[in-house]
Structure 1
Amino acid sequence: MLQNGKEDQKIAFSAGLLASGSGHTGPADSDKTLAYKKVFSNIGNAYDPETGIFTAPLRGVYYFRFYAHSQAGIKMAVSLYKNNQLQCSVFSWQSTINGNASNGVVLTLEPGDVVYTKLWGNSRVFDDEASYTSFSGFLIFPLQMK
């Protein structure tokens, strides 16, 4: 992928919210970064399951997507951030049935840029072994340094 004699960089991760079991995360008094503990893949080790933060190791164009599950009667809201800047969100206001919401975005990142999701204050998400609530991302292609 990379030219000029540099080693190819392969970067991709996918993770479910809970490592095991089932239950709700939230509500919290304020927005809370979600740490997705059930790591399916973490090629390049750019995703940290302890913090829930992806840190770009190289300049490039990346794709991120996240899913969130809400149960009946519960408000669910999750947003994706790049360097503390809101990029996109999902929201469900106390639906009468269980539901899923997803969103995705293509971002240009510089080395050290961070991407993560936050659960809104006073909302909850649900997860179980089926990993209804998840977060993934991958490098589409690298860009030459400026």
Structure 2
Amino acid sequence: MFNFKIYTYLLFLVLFYVECRSAPEPLCSKFSYDEQLLEKMVRVEFNVNNMEKNMLETEQNMRETEQNMKETEKNMLETQRGMLETQKNMLKSLNEIEDKIKVLEQKEAPAGKDVVAFHAYKAADKTLANNQVIVFTKVIMNEGDGYSSSNGYFTAPISGIFYFNAHLCVQNGKSLEYIIVVNGQTRASGLYKANASGTCTSFSVTAHMRSGERAWVTIDKSGSSSSSLLYEDSDDWNYFSGFLIRQLD
């Protein structure tokens, strides 16, 4: 900046010298020369000071602009970090929601055993002893694999409320007490006596069972002879069926 002032002074001295050479003699007297030189130097000094001031202001503005740009960049980086953090939290929330949905689905449908139903017919033994489990050997449906055609027991694969129905056809003139047993307890029973031509009866019960408990059909012969009690043909079937109404924990 100091060199710029010196160059400016020299430039004006040269211009002033040229002007004095072309002016009349009285104009270029020593007093007039000094006065005009001083005036020009003052103007030059003023202009130089203004230029220096403007340059300083421009430099300050550039620094402020640079600082503002740095602040803007910082804010943008913070905003970007905030957006990434928000995205991360959203993904975490979505994963948590998906996990909760999976847990609920597993509770509502444990291992595919939420459907339990069976239907079996054809009594293996028609000459029955008291409290003998009636085994129905022909299985039409066994969703949940709860019924066994080898021993006549239904074993609950899950805990819940179940509905059972049995149908027995009795020989002419014979009578018996039909019984549905759930976990060792009689839950449905009744005395039935067939007329001269023989007939059938149905009975049912709703029971709360825990996983692993069993249900079955049996009879009490009520003084009937040891001959065949049940009969069966293409129209009259002996059968045992049941299904899950609602699963319980």
Q: 2:239 is matched with which residue?
A: 134
Tell me whether 1:70 sits opposite 2:175 in the alignment.
no
> Residues 65 and 137 of structure 1 are in contact (CA less than 8 Å); yes or no, is this contact kept in structure 2?
yes
Task: Provide the rounded CA distance (Å) in 1 between the counterparts of 2:219 and 2:104.
Answer: 39
Q: What SS class does the counterpart of residue 81 from structure 1 fall into?
A: strand
Task: Provide the rounded CA distance (Å) in 2 between the counterparts of 1:3 and 1:140.
Answer: 19
Q: 1:12 is matched with which residue?
A: 117
> Residues 77 and 92 of structure 1 are in contact (CA less than 8 Å); yes or no, is this contact kept in structure 2?
yes
Structure with higher strand content: 1
> Residues 200 and 236 of structure 2 are in contact (CA less than 8 Å); yes or no, is this contact kept in structure 1?
no
- Code of the residue aligned with 1:13 in structure 2: it is F
- Structure 2 segments unaligned to the other structure (5+ residues): 1-102
Post-superposition offset of 1:94: 4.6
Post-superposition offset of 1:131: 5.3
In our comparison, the structure showing a higher alpha carbon Rg is 2
Task: Provide the rounded CA distance (Å) in 2 between the counterparts of 1:125 and 1:114.
Answer: 24
- Code of the residue aligned with 2:155 in structure 1: it is T
Instruction: Count how many residue pairs are aligned between Structure 1 and Structure 2.
Output: 138
Task: Provide the rounded CA distance (Å) in 2 between the counterparts of 1:79 and 1:64.
Answer: 12
Q: 1:26 is matched with which residue?
A: 127
CA deviation profile, 1:45-82 (whole Å, cap 9, x unmatched): 10001010000111111100001111222223321001
Task: Provide the rounded CA distance (Å) in 1 between the counterparts of 2:177 and 2:126.
Answer: 12
Change (3 A) 1:91 1:97: farther
Task: Return the structure number with greater relative CO, CA threshold 8 A, min gap 6.
Answer: 1
Q: 1:51 is matched with which residue?
A: 151
> Residues 169 and 236 of structure 2 are in contact (CA less than 8 Å); yes or no, is this contact kept in structure 1?
no
> Residues 179 and 219 of structure 2 are in contact (CA less than 8 Å); yes or no, is this contact kept in structure 1?
yes
> Residues 18 and 128 of structure 1 are in contact (CA less than 8 Å); yes or no, is this contact kept in structure 2?
no
> Residues 178 and 220 of structure 2 are in contact (CA less than 8 Å); yes or no, is this contact kept in structure 1?
yes
Task: Using the TM superposition, name which of 87-96 and 99-108 deviates more.
Answer: 87-96
Task: Using the TM superposition, name which of 30-39 and 73-82 deviates more.
Answer: 73-82
> Residues 62 and 141 of structure 1 are in contact (CA less than 8 Å); yes or no, is this contact kept in structure 2?
yes
Given the alignment, which residue of 222, 225, 230 partners 1:125? 230
- Structure 1 segments unaligned to the other structure (5+ residues): none
Task: Provide the rounded CA distance (Å) in 2 between the counterparts of 1:84 and 1:13.
Answer: 20
Tell me whether 1:92 sits opposite 2:192 in the alignment.
yes
Report % sequence identity: 25
Q: 1:109 is matched with which residue?
A: 209
CA RMSD of aligned residues (A): 2.1
Structure with higher helix content: 2
Task: Provide the rounded CA distance (Å) in 1 between the counterparts of 2:145 and 2:119.
Answer: 11
Change (3 A) 1:129 1:101: same
> Residues 116 and 243 of structure 2 are in contact (CA less than 8 Å); yes or no, is this contact kept in structure 1?
yes
Task: Using the TM superposition, name which of 128-137 and 104-113 deviates more.
Answer: 128-137
